[in-house]
Structures are given as C-alpha cells and as structure tokens.
Chain A
Amino acid sequence: MSSLPPGSNSGLSLRKLWFDPNVRSLVFQLIAVLAVVGFFYYIINNALFNLEQRGITTGFAFLDNSAGFGIIQSLIEYDESYSFGRTFFVGLLNTILISALGVFFATILGFIVGVARLSDNWLVAKIATFYIEIFRNIPLLLQIFFWYFAVLRTLPSPKQSLQIGEAAFLNVRGLYLPKTILEAGSGIVVFAFFACLIATVFIFFWSKRRQMLTGKQFPTFLFNAALMITVPGIVFLLAGSPVHLEYPELKGFNFKGGLTVIPELAALLIALTVYTASFIAEIVRSGIVAVNKGQSEASISLGLSKTQTLKLVVIPQAMRVIIPPLTSQYLNLTKNSSLATAIGYPDLVSVFMGTTLNQTGQAIEVIAMTMGVYLTISISTSIVMNIYNRKMSLVER
C-alpha cells in the first residue's frame, strides 16, 4: 500500500468521480428520469390547456351517460338507452368473439396447411406453398375488403337466398342458421355434460399415474370420447329431448328467428383465418422440421409404431418449438381483429374508439381504456407464456 503515489486515494477528485462507473450510471439514469418526467409534464400540461380551450370535460363520468346509438351485433342486452360504459363491454365481447373464432379456425387451417407443405405428394406440397406465399404477402385490410365488398356484398337478396334445405340461408344480409332453444329440463343435460368433462380430467391423470407406476396403458382418448358422447346423450334422451331447433323464416323482406351471422363478422373471420393460417402453417412446418430425424429413427428402432413415434416423440418436441411463436400469432390475430372498424364490424375499436369517441370527444379516456384492454390481454398472455417456457425448460436436460 505504501507504493501508492500520494493523493491517489483522495476519492473526491472530480476527474475520478467522472470515471467511476457507478457515479456515471447514476448520473445517466438521473438524466433519463428527468427527461421522461419533463416530457410527461410537458404533454400533460399541454393536454390540460388544450382540453380546457376546446371546452372538453375530463374524467370518466361520460361512461354513465346514455349512448343513443345502435350496435348491429351484441352478445349482451343492448339498445340505444344503455350507457357509454355498456358500449365498452359490447365492443369488448365482440372483439373476444371474433378473436376466439379466428384462433380456432386459423389453428385448424394452419396445421393442415403446415403439414401439407411437408407432404411427399408433390401436388399437395406445392398447393400448400402457393397458399402460404399468396396470402402471407397481401395486406390483411385488403383481404378483409375483398371478402366483404367483392364477395359477400354481391350475394343475392334475401328473397333469392342460397339455401341448404329449409335450415340454412345465405344472402347479402348474412348467414342464417337454425338456433338451439333450451327448454325446461335441459339443465340436467348441461350438468351431465360438465360432470363428464370433469370425470375425463380425472381419468386422464389417473391413467397417466398408473402408466408411470405399472407401465400399463389405458385407452384414455377412446374411453373419454365414449364417455363424453354416451352419458350426456342418454341423459338427453331420458329427459325427453328438451332441446329443439328454431329455424329462420323469411318474413317480409328479411329473415326472422334462428341464428344470424352478419356479413361483417363473416368477412372479418374469413380474412383473419386465411391470413393468420398462412403464418401458423410456416410455424408448424418449421417446428416439425426442427425435430431431428434421428429422433424418429431412434423411436422406430426402439420398436414404437409410426403413430406412436408421431404421438410420443415427434409432436411433443415439435410443440415446444411451435407454441411460443404460435401464441404471438394468436396475439397478432387479436390485435388485427381491430381492423373490423374498416368494414363496420362492431368490435372494441369500432364501437368504443370510433363511435363513442366521436360522440363524447373524450379522446384521452377512450383511447386509454381501449389500449388498456389490449395491454391487459397481451401482458397476461406473456406472463402465461413465461410460466410455460419455464416449465418446458425444466423438462429439458
């Protein structure tokens, strides 16, 4: 220690402070905090001033005011007399509906196309490639417009509907399907259905544990499928078939009764499905390709059948690669469903950020609430995905 030159341990010299990494990082972070606070101070100040000048009220009181506009599709009870707050939930539910339907159909189509692209049948593989390269490279909005304006708008009028028997009708106003009407006594059927559903979960875990302990396999899938079909079916018959179908009927200029799929929903659903499926197909393909060929060869040489190889070796490993990007495609689909506003499907953006914003003029509150919904969906999904990834990485060696 005596070899140190004099003065070198005087820790307060300015030059030394400037080159101390801790001090530097503290200074930088302080500057960052000041910049961000200053920025927000500036915009909030401006916003308050501008709002006052334009005579726009602030706060969330407007949510209780009567909305006074109609919405063409609502999953909950709604008419003009309900409040603006209610329009938020109507829009939100419509967004959830289109997203859930889109995810369901896009997954099915995407997996089919993805597997087809790896087929050894030349024609199947080429058609799948063709599909992917076409639809992936055309803007979604254009596809929505195409299905809505060029296809569904040119369908015949209600009087000349395309029809399947007396049950389903397709015309320019939408697709009309029979609706199931639940009568008294149907509750017990629903109860039987859910009871079976819970039972299948127990059977699944029981058979898995038994296989771990004894090595005996149990035909879980077949047994569960049989259970799910027979028990509610028998209960349904015993209760005297308490469900009937209500068919749509042409009355005057339009159909009454039954279940209506409005053309906006149909166009948006077709476009979202077709577009997202082309991305999912690529994810599925790369997931399957990512599983080393040695894995399936090893499994076959262990004596597993081709089906067992696929079910027990290839798919579980492919899924690990597929699921994270697949989830982000689901999120993309949910976000893309906001394009509904371009054709007037009443989703959250169209109803709340469109009509409600125009009627109330309270841009900041409305946009914050809308963005909040997407933020919540997205952040909760990424939390679930992080848990999933952690679990999957534990399984790894």
Chain B
Amino acid sequence: MTVHEFKPDLAPPTSARGVVGWLKYNLFNGPVNSIFTLLLIYLVIPPLLSAFQWIFIDADFIGDSRDACTSDGACWVFISSRFEQLIYGFYPSEERWRVNIVFVSFALIIAGLIWPKTPQKTKLAIFSLVIYPIIVFYLLIGDSFGLAKVDTHQWGGLMLTLTLAVVGIVAALPFGILLALGRRSDMPIIRSFSTIYIEFWRAVPLITVLFMASVMLPLFVGSEVDFDKLMRALIGIIMFQSAYMAEVIRGGLQAIPKGQYEAGEALGLNYWQSTGLIILPQALKITIPSIVNTFIALFKDTSLVLIIGLFDLLAIGQSALADPAWLGFSTEMYVFVAFVFWVFCFGMSRYSVYLENKLHTGH
C-alpha cells in the first residue's frame, strides 16, 4: 500500500522573499516608486543622521556650567542644570517631596485605571475624580495638617502644566455633562442657553478666554473675592473646556439607541434616574477615547498660560533662555520641552486608539 504524499511547496523565487523581496515590493515596485524612494533617501536620511549625531554622539551630558560644552553637539548640561525648575517650578526645595508624592500616586492611579484587569475599577474612578483631588489640593497648598503653605505663584514647570490640564478636564466633566444634557433637552429655553454657551466658547480662541479671565474676572466679582492668577487661569480653562466636553459627550449621547431611553421609561424611571443609571454610563464609556483626545488638546493648550504670566513647562524653558550664563542653547531647550510634551501626548493618543479598537469589537 502506498501512501500518497504531497511534495513540499517550492520556495518562492529568491527575488520575492527575504530582504530582497521586501525591498522589491515595498520600495522599488515600479519606476515612479523607485525614484521616490531614492529621492527620499537622499533628502531625508542625511538630516536625520546629523540630528542623531547632534543629539547623542556629539553631545555633552556631564558638567555643571557652559564650560562643559566643548563639542559641536547639543549641550544637555543646560537642561540638567535647569531640570529641577522645569519639573517643580519655584516650589521650595525642602517641600518637593509633596509634589513627588502627588506624581507617584497620580501615576499609580492612572496605571490602575488603564490596566484592564483592575478590580473595583468604578470605585477607583470615582475616588480619583472626587476624593483624590481634595487630598492633592491640601497636600500641594499646605497651610493645614502641619504642612507649610506654598503659594500658587511658586508653582511651575511640568507640575503646573499637569495641574492645569488635569484640573481643567476633571472640573469640566460635570459641566460638560450638564451642558450636553441641556442641549438635548426638550425645554426650549434650557436648550438655547446650553447651545449659546457651547457655541460661544467654541468660537473664541483660548488666548482671548485667558485674557478675559485675567483682566475681566476681577471686574466681575465683588471686591471681597480675591482670585490668584492660577485660579483665574483655571476658571478660564474650565469655562472653555466644558464647552468642548459638552460636544464630546453629546456625541456619545447621540450614539445611544432610542430603545434604551424607552426601556428606562418603561421601567418607570424618571428622567434623572434613567439618565444616571442607563444612558450616561453607556454614553460616557463610548466617549472615553474622545475625552482622551480633548485632554491631549487641552494638555498642549495649557502652554498658552505663559502669555498671562504663569510659569508652566514651556514658560520655565523660555525664561531659562534669557539667562546670560547660558545664551545660545535655545534649540536644546525647545527640543527637551517638545520631547516631554510629545511623550505625554503620543502616549495618550496611542491609548485612545487602543480604546477605540477595543470598543469596536463590542458592537
């Protein structure tokens, strides 16, 4: 009895596999593409190589004054000499452990929220949105529980950037939800108020809002209320951001099928019950990727506060450039600050893409 056996397949021709095949299919398939490839190699590779050399190979990393920068490359000594200021601003150095605690606990909470298998995630989310900000507030400001007071004008650097962005987005969330519900309400007056609010703030640039907050806000409140600069900037950012947040959440609300509302009514729930228990949990879940995207936009936009005189990461970097001892290293500073912003924004955008893909499989 003979068993018929297939002969093994022939390997593809050598020109179609391995490195050669890959090159042929991806870079040199056709004369036009070949020309493009060669042209780009000629145009792009040399600048990239010299940038790499400038950043890593020719650069100076060790030292404490500009005399250490003797080579042609980047002078990272400038960054390391300013590093603490770039992170903490003018926060007193003996109190910086408080900021460090906030950084670490914040990172842990974010990690817990991102990791898919965290137990009691909803409770963690509520804790981080409601209770955690209060703890952080008292920890950073001090003046109670035996902690020394640190005025907000001493805040700065990455710490201030994160504060503005995180407070802006967290405080805008409830306002955004209310405005989004208002814009979809059946009551004409509520609807038009919400629409006017949202469209007004979305139409004007953030910089005019910040100007308004810093110049006009003191005129609008009685003299008994005194806002410091940070508070004014935050009020401006929150008013501005809640309009964007409202539009994002409205998008989520629109995606909820009508049957869900009807089911809520059929169960005898009133408006707030069905909104809070049925509609919002679903709508918020599908809007998380868009909320992350608005957060990225806000995170980048917080750099505008330098115009009204707050010292965020970019402003600290910019002011360091004016130091006569370190003139001529502006590129290093911009590259460093850009890198920090980029790491945060790129990481968040990857996360939002990941979430979107995860949500897609469910529907």
Contact = CB atoms under 8 A, between A and B. Distances in A.
Interface stretch (B9-17, B74-82, B128-136, B216-224): B216-224
Contacts of A339: 207, 304
Contact of A146 (B204, B307, B334, B349): B334
Interface stretch (B152-160, B166-174, B255-263, B335-343): B335-343
- Which residue, B186, B205, B330, has most C-beta atoms of chain A within 10 A? B205
B37 interface: yes
Contacts of B200: 375
Given A121-B37, A124-B40, A367-B215, A141 B208 contact: no
Interface string B193-223: 1000001101111111001100110111111
Contact of A374 (B188, B208, B216, B219): B208
A138 B314 contact: no
B50 interface: no
Contacts of B222: 46
Q: Indicate the size class of the contact surface on chain B.
A: 35 or more
Interface string A84-124: 00000000000000000000000000000000000111111
Nearest to A138: B338
A12 interface: no
A25 B187 contact: yes
Interface in B298-319: 300-301, 303-304, 306-307, 314, 318
B345 interface: yes
Interface stretch (A29-37, A226-234, A303-311): A29-37
A145 B303 CA distance: 11
B3 interface: no
Given A121-B33, A378-B203, A140 B300 contact: yes
B334 A142 contact: yes
Contacts of B215: 357, 363, 367
A133 interface: yes
A363 B307 contact: no
B187 A29 contact: yes
B337 A121 contact: no
Interface residues of A, number: 53
Contact of A338 (B29, B189, B207, B337): B207
A379 B199 contact: yes
B304 A141 contact: yes
Contact of B40 (A33, A127, A145): A127
Given A25-B186, A374-B204, A374-B208, A46 B334 contact: no
Interface of A: 25, 28-29, 32-33, 36, 43, 46-47, 50-51, 119-124, 127, 133-134, 136-143, 145-146, 149-150, 153, 335-336, 338-339, 341-342, 349, 353, 357, 363-364, 367, 370-371, 374-375, 377-379, 382
Task: List the 9 closest A-B pairs by CB distance, nearest first.
Answer: A378-B203, A122-B26, A137-B345, A335-B205, A29-B189, A43-B220, A139-B300, A139-B303, A338-B205
13 contacts: A36-B193, A120-B33, A121-B26, A121-B27, A124-B40, A137-B342, A138-B300, A138-B345, A139-B301, A349-B205, A363-B215, A371-B204, A378-B199
